[in-house]
A and B are shown apart, each in its own frame.
Chain A
Amino acid sequence: MVLEIYLDLFSQPCRSVYIFAKKNGVPFEYKSVSLLAGEQYGEEFGKINVLRKAPAIRDGDFCLAESVAIMTYLAEKYKTPDHWFPADLQKRAQVNEYLSWQHSAMRPHGSKIFWLKLMIPRVMGTEVPKEKMDAALEDLDGTLKLFEEKFLQDRPFIVGDQISLADLVAIVEIMQPVGAGLDVFETRPKLSAWRDRVRDAIGAELFDEAHQGILSSQESAKSMDSSKLQHFKARILKKFL
Chain B
Amino acid sequence: MALELYLDLHSQPCRSVYIFAKLAGIPFEYKAVDLSAGEHFGEEFGKISVVRKVPVLKDGAFVLTESTAILQYLVAKYSTPDHWYPADLQKRARVDEYLSWQHTNMRTHGSKVFWFRGVLPAVTGVPVPKEKMDSAVEDLNMSFKLFEEKFLQDRPFIVGEKISLADLVAIVEMMQPVGTGLDVFEGRPALSAWRDRVKKEIGTELFEEAHKTILNAASLQQTFENKGLPEFLKIRIQKMFN
Q: Chain A interface (Cβ within 8 Å of chain B)?
A: 50-51, 62, 64-70, 72-73, 76-77, 89-90, 92-94, 96-97, 99-101, 103-104, 107-108, 135, 146, 149-150, 238
- With both beta carbons as reference points, the residue of chain B lying nearest to A108 in the complex is identified as B104
A104 to B68 CA separation, bound complex (whole angstroms): 13
Q: Is the CB of A73 within 8 A of B50?
A: no
Task: Give the dominant DSSP class at B's interface.
Answer: helix
Smallest distance from the beta carbon of A154 to chain B beta carbons, Å? 15
Q: Is the CB of B93 within 8 A of A72?
A: yes
A92 to B135 CA separation, bound complex (whole angstroms): 38
Q: Is the CB of A104 within 8 A of B103?
A: yes
Q: Is the CB of B97 within 8 A of A66?
A: yes
A150 to B96 CA separation, bound complex (whole angstroms): 24
Chain B 57-91, CB-CB to A under 8 Å as 1, else 0, gives 00000101111111011001100000000000110
Shortest 4 CB-CB distances between A and B: which pairs?
A: A103-B103, A69-B96, A96-B69, A100-B66
Residues from chain A with a CB closer than 8 A to the CB of B101 are 51, 65-66
A150 to B66 CA separation, bound complex (whole angstroms): 13
Q: Is the CB of B69 within 8 A of A93?
A: yes
- Residue B146 interfacial (CB < 8 Å): yes
Residues from chain A with a CB closer than 8 A to the CB of B92 are 72-73, 76
Q: Is the CB of B66 within 8 A of A68?
A: no
A103 to B103 CA separation, bound complex (whole angstroms): 6
Q: Is the CB of A69 within 8 A of B97?
A: yes
Q: Is the CB of A103 within 8 A of B100?
A: yes
Chain B 136-151, CB-CB to A under 8 Å as 1, else 0, gives 0000000000100110
* 24 A–B contacts from the bound complex (CB under 8 Å): A50-B149, A50-B150, A51-B146, A51-B150, A62-B90, A65-B97, A65-B101, A66-B97, A66-B101, A68-B100, A72-B96, A73-B93, A73-B96, A76-B92, A93-B64, A93-B73, A94-B64, A97-B69, A100-B99, A103-B104, A104-B108, A107-B104, A146-B51, A238-B135
Smallest distance from the beta carbon of B78 to chain A beta carbons, Å? 11
Q: Is the CB of A93 within 8 A of B72?
A: yes
- With both beta carbons as reference points, the residue of chain A lying nearest to B13 in the complex is identified as A100
- With both beta carbons as reference points, the residue of chain B lying nearest to A104 in the complex is identified as B103
Q: Is the CB of B64 within 8 A of A97?
A: yes
- With both beta carbons as reference points, the residue of chain B lying nearest to A101 in the complex is identified as B66
Chain B 165-206, CB-CB to A under 8 Å as 1, else 0, gives 000000000000000000000000000000000000000000
Smallest distance from the beta carbon of A59 to chain B beta carbons, Å? 9
Residues from chain A with a CB closer than 8 A to the CB of B100 are 66-69, 99, 103
Smallest distance from the beta carbon of B229 to chain A beta carbons, Å? 22
Q: A100-B103, A103-B103 are in contact. Are A90 and B62 (CB under 8 A)?
A: yes
With beta carbons under 8 angstroms apart, the residue of B51, B67, B69, B90 that contacts A150 is B51
- With both beta carbons as reference points, the residue of chain A lying nearest to B97 in the complex is identified as A69
B residues 77-130 touching A (CB-CB < 8 Å): 77, 89-90, 92-94, 96-97, 99-101, 103-104, 108
